[in-house]
Structure 1
Amino acid sequence: MQPTHAEVARTLAAGHLPAVAHIACRPGPLPVRHVIDAQGRVLLLSPAGGAVAAGLRSQPGTGDTAMVLDITDVPPVAGSPALGRVWVSGWVTRLDGDEARRAALDYAEIDASGDLLDVGESKVLHRLDVAEVRYERNDKLVEIDPDDFAAATPDPLRQIEFDLIADLAEHHLAEMSAYVRRQLGPAVQPASEPRVVRMDRYGFLVRLDDKLARLAFPRPVTDRQDLAHLLHPVLCHRCTS
């Protein structure tokens, strides 16, 4: 099993990676803070007097402002392949009053930033109504249905992926190497120690000399504790022998 394109795009756009905004008829791109809430809605947080808020201020009679949110993956460790890039396009609406307060609570569920306390004063929230999602990796561009994008859930391991990979490298290198070699079988035995370079809910990617191999978990994991439970037989092979 592997993540779907919608799941990868949703993971990249979740709000934990740097993003820039391309605003129609405005200079840019502009760095912007954002999250995608539990309902799949894109929320943008910016200074009320900043360039993003000014750029998103619609002109009289023009209605909503068109914008593209542009997010590129940042690999967790050296040697990790990038997951690609996602563009989320649509029309932006400024949120005020009760709507802004509700959106601030939704934003806080993803990123509990103290700046949310200033929404309505020095900070402003906008909502991007998604019309188009494009995902690109290795020069292949995929169009993703906005409903599929909204329904997909971000990977639960993405925020802690670096910590997980570092822990395996520092404390369980021999056990993971032995496990990978057992899984690969005698026909494929790398000269150097196999290294885990990416992880997600479905499995992990291992670097074998100059190649990459994907090993799947028996089932998708739900969180760090679930992953530890699933990996226990791998990291304690003697316990199951």
Structure 2
Amino acid sequence: MSEDRRPPAPHPAERARTIATRGGRAALLPSNGTEARITPAFHHVHPTGEATMLLPDDHPLVRTGATTGMLEVADHAPVTLREPVRGLLWITGWLRVLDPQEARQACLEVAEQRPDPRLLDVGHGMSALRLEPASIVVADAEGTTSLQPDLFATAEPDPFCTHEDHWLRHLELSHRDVVGLLSQHLPEHLRGGHVRPLGLDRLGLRLRVEATDEDHDVRIAFSRPVATAQELSVELRRLMGCPFLAQRR
């Protein structure tokens, strides 16, 4: 499919905010060579693109102090796939250890958006670090795009991002017939593969086709952007070929 005929997709900044909001699995890669990859005990990406992370007090990076580094956040599919990562977010910038007062304030800010008992460990064996972004990159099936932090900050995450995983798991486990109906929108040469629900956003549905040669991600567009569960239901029923049922709902 040519670039100008590709189904519409959310803006890269919106996709980046969505990955950040979901949380995902994180790895910290400092540039000072202390370790190859570090798994924070907790991480949170703020709407500004800044990230707060927790590491044990005795971690070498805490003792090192300020440095530069990159936080990688992986967006995993909610169903079991042979290639489970459907998107990556990389935030590169300046990393520093927060002093006790800054750490307490940072934990309060995070708790307002994402309460987590691990935040209570700061000052009791855990230290808080802050990554201030210089550049942000998002990579997924739509492409790889570099973003300025101010563009990331003005975008909004997808309205369905906190419910998407539950809905797609339910679709995979309990409604394979629905997946079959949605498969009619796939290109003909992909219809023989194993079709899995991969993603859902305000502009459409994404399916993963696990073929014998390789995996293929296909976006199926809605007829219009949706913002509520009711609007989403109408569009899904239309894709299934049930417009009358959609109108009655």
Instruction: Give TM class, smaller chain.
Output: 0.7 to 0.9
Q: Unpaired segments of 5 or more residues in structure 2?
A: 1-7
The alignment status of 1:142 with 2:145, answered yes or no, reads yes
Which of 16, 36, 60 aligns to 1:28? It is 36
Report the Cα offset of residue 193 of structure 1.
Answer: 8.4
Give the partner amino acid of 2:28: A
For 1:214, what is the secondary structure of its paired residue? strand
Percent identity reads 26
Report the Cα offset of residue 137 of structure 1.
Answer: 4.5
Q: 1:153 is matched with which residue?
A: 156
Q: 1:213 is matched with which residue?
A: 218
CA contact (8 A) 1:21 1:29 kept: yes
Q: 2:201 is matched with which residue?
A: 200
Counterparts of 1:193 and 1:132, CA distance in 2:
37
Q: When the two structures are superposed, what TM-score results if normalisation uses the length of structure 1?
A: 0.75
For 2:76, what is the secondary structure of its paired residue? coil
Structure 1 residues 174, 219: CA separation in 2 closer, same or farther (over 3 Å shift)? same
Q: What are the residue-to-residue correspondences of 1:64-75 with 2, within 5 Å?
A: 64-75=66-77
Counterparts of 1:31 and 1:104, CA distance in 2:
19
Structure 1 residues 174, 125: CA separation in 2 closer, same or farther (over 3 Å shift)? same
- The farther-off stretch of 231-240 and 26-35 is 231-240
Give the partner amino acid of 1:31: T
Q: Unpaired segments of 5 or more residues in structure 1?
A: 58-63
Q: 2:135 is matched with which residue?
A: 132
Counterparts of 1:220 and 1:81, CA distance in 2:
26
Structure 1 residues 5, 189: CA separation in 2 closer, same or farther (over 3 Å shift)? closer
Q: 2:123 is matched with which residue?
A: 120
CA contact (8 A) 1:15 1:35 kept: no
Report the Cα offset of residue 204 of structure 1.
Answer: 0.8
Report the Cα offset of residue 189 of structure 1.
Answer: 9.6
Q: When the two structures are superposed, what TM-score results if normalisation uses the length of structure 2?
A: 0.73
Give the partner amino acid of 1:99: E
Which of 51, 55, 62 aligns to 1:53? It is 62
